[in-house]
Amino acid sequence: MSGDSSMSREQFDAIVIGSGLGGLVTAAYLCAAGRRTLVLEAHYVAGGNSQVFRRSHHGKEYEFDVGIHYIGECGRDGIITAALNGLGLAERVVFRPLDSDGYSTLHFPDVSFRVPFGWDRYRARLHETFPDERDALDAVLDVMHEVGDAGRRMQRGELGMEQIETEAPGFLQQGLRPVTELFAEHRLSERAAAVILGEQGCYAVRPSDTPVVMAAGLADHFLRGAYYPVGGGQVIAGRLIEAIRAYGGDVRTQSPVQRIRVENGRVLGVVAGKKNRMPVEIDAPVVVSNADVKRTFFELVGEEHLNEQTCARIRDLQMAIPLFCVYLGLDIDLAEQGMPNSNHFIWGDTDLEAIYDELDAGRTSSKAMCYITAASLKDPESRHLAPRGHTNLQIMTLVPRDYSVWNVDRGPTDGGRYHRDPEYRRRKDALTDHLIDMAEPVLHDLREHIVWREAATPISQERFTRSTGGTSYGIEMSCSQAGPLRVGPRTEIEGLFLCGASTPSGPGIAGVMRGGVVTAGEILESDLLGPILAGEVFGDRGALPALNDEWDPWRESH
């Protein structure tokens, strides 16, 4: 460029591609450290899988969560709490606990189980449910509790490898072992094993490929408290965006990145802009990709800038199983009907392995998890979630990775068109009806009260988040892809970093937010995690705008 155009060329200290919570946390901490950071988001609402969408029907409005349904690590010592506090946001995001006596209710053909807070209560309730398996349960739970606790302390930086060898040897011996091997070793029944894995839709990996550290980590995560943000799922993203802007950065929606500029092994910035518009080069010595890991390397960077080993490794990564989501508005208030603030997981069989056999064969399974959650039960005072006297309900299930199950050859990022295809719509409606049927034993006469109904396939997920295979979990958290076997946050290209669900911190809200802190620390060459867990505040609370009762996180995220 030359002349006046060169004077307007934008320069930042860092650019973050994608506005999922990992990217927003990274950007917020960089801004708090004085690094002027720009977040570029292709969608019209920032937040990635934490975003919400709104629907109006006959003058009544509903707000549906895309990805935040219930989360852990929100207590006083939680990583999410600490990450927000480190930015001066602790007082601006309030979390409400789910039912402590049964934050999730698991339904199988011949057994139901309410999951309570606390390892001791959990163990006692399993004993009550399976009285003939006390010894097997104790042996399995002893390992899972040790591995879960050690994994959490490692993530918090409280345990190093030398300490683990002496304080938690079971973590090294059992952590990456398939959880089914642990069950088999102690002759745990299929029924009891299914109950222990009843919430595994939160990471979506077949049991025989689920490492103990994943199953134990999820259990530990929620047994120490399950929560929902007051004001809805968009609140966390909205407050992070508020901090980024207050601390000197910017978040721009409808700003897709076409390419990461790389020369001589280091990043120079990005090329951004919609395909039909003149692309714009933006300069920055640091680029952080919160985008899909495969698209980051193969589409945004390009194989010509990568060594062969990296290309082979990224190509071989398997993405997690995707989800199908149904969004319903009901003309009754389930809280007034006496329904507790609990999730429901309905499984058609205790043989979870057989269910994954069907999914991996490219077939939807009539016995796969049916997950039911009601945002208006978790946050009954929100003015956006549902009208007074109504309920905001979501139902989800696991579906195959193969798009042919939807009569689709190509995903939307590759130019595929699908939305108006009659067969696509028929298959989507059929699965929606099946999930409503599965939910009716828990929610009697459900169909009579539906006033709004829509559904989203993995192809919808790809359209809005550009995730490979339409998964919301990044690369699968399997035995061969867990922990240090994942990618990032540093890459072989100088100045290019990664954050998000595919990095070692893993998927889930707490995982990606912790990962964002770690990535920011790598860039700043400083340990951030330890100080924020100790209560240090990096953000200047005085720079944040005054709290306002009319503040709308969804509008803040545009």
**430 by DSSP, 3-state: which?**
helix
Q: Which positions ≥6 away from 105 have C-beta within 8 Å?
A: 112, 113, 114, 115, 342, 343, 344, 345
CB atoms within 10 A of CB 426: 11
Confidence band (pLDDT; 50, 70, 90) for 8?
A: low
Residue 467 confidence (pLDDT) above 70:
yes
**555 by DSSP, 3-state: which?**
helix
- The candidate with the shortest Cα–Cα distance to 408, out of 424, 393, 395, is 424
- The strand pair at 60-65 and 111-115 is best described as unpaired
Residue 486 sits at φ, ψ, to 5 deg, of -90, -175
- Scan for tokens 């100045």, then name that residue: 495
483-541 residue pLDDT tens = 888 998 999 999 999 999 999 999 999 999 999 999 999 999 999 999 999 999 999 99
* Tokens (6 digits) for 470: 């339409």
- The Cα–Cα gap between 170 and 158 comes to 17
How would DSSP label each residue in 296-311?
A: IIIIII-GGGS-HHHH
pLDDT at 336: 87
pLDDT at 155: 86
Question: How many CA atoms within 13 Å lie on the side-chain side of 72?
Answer: 19
pLDDT at 492: 95
- The Cα–Cα gap between 525 and 412 comes to 38
What average pLDDT does the segment 346-352 reach? 97
* Tokens (6 digits) for 552: 């709308």
60-91 residue pLDDT tens = 889 999 989 999 999 999 999 999 999 999 99
Residue 114 confidence (pLDDT) above 50:
yes
- The Cα–Cα gap between 143 and 138 comes to 9
Dihedral sign, Cα of residue 192, residue 197, residue 201, residue 207? negative
Q: What is the dihedral of CA 402, 403, 409, 412, to 10 degrees?
A: -130
What crossing angle do the helices spanning 212-223 and 119-129 adopt, rounded to 10°?
A: 110
Burial tier of 361 (Cβ tally within 10 Å: 0-12, 13-18, 19+): exposed
Provide the percentage of residues in the chain whose pLDDT is more than 70. Answer: 98
Q: Which segments of 365-449 are extended strands (E)?
A: 370-374, 391-398
- The candidate with the shortest Cα–Cα distance to 234, out of 242, 225, 222, 226, is 242
pLDDT at 150: 87
Confidence band (pLDDT; 50, 70, 90) for 5?
A: very low
Question: Is the backbone of residue 73 left (phi > 0), alpha (psi -120 to 50) or beta?
Answer: left
Average pLDDT over the chain reads 93
**264 by DSSP, 3-state: which?**
coil
pLDDT at 418: 85
pLDDT at 420: 85
CB atoms within 10 A of CB 250: 16
pLDDT at 171: 81
- The candidate with the shortest Cα–Cα distance to 69, out of 345, 289, 442, 468, is 345
* Cα Rg of the chain, angstroms: 23
- The Cα–Cα gap between 305 and 447 comes to 54
Q: Which CATH number fits domain 11-56+70-94+230-317+473-553: 3.90.1150.10, 3.40.50.2000, 3.40.50.2300, 3.50.50.60?
A: 3.50.50.60
Q: Which positions ≥6 away from 293 have C-beta within 8 Å?
A: 314, 317, 468, 474, 475, 487, 488, 498, 500, 502
* Tokens (6 digits) for 239: 């407050």
Residue 479 confidence (pLDDT) above 70:
yes
372-404 residue pLDDT tens = 999 999 998 887 898 999 999 999 999 999 999
Pick from 145-154, 197-206, 378-387 the range whose average pLDDT is largest.
197-206
> Full-prediction pTM beyond 0.85?
yes
What average pLDDT does the segment 433-444 reach? 95
Report which DSSP code applies to 442. Answer: T
* Tokens (6 digits) for 513: 């937010």
Confidence band (pLDDT; 50, 70, 90) for 281?
A: very high
Stretch among 269-278, 389-398, 432-441 having the lowest mean pLDDT: 269-278
- The Cα–Cα gap between 38 and 221 comes to 32
pLDDT at 93: 95
- Scan for tokens 């304080």, then name that residue: 167
Q: Domain extents for the chain?
A: 11-56+70-94+230-317+473-553, 118-225, 321-471
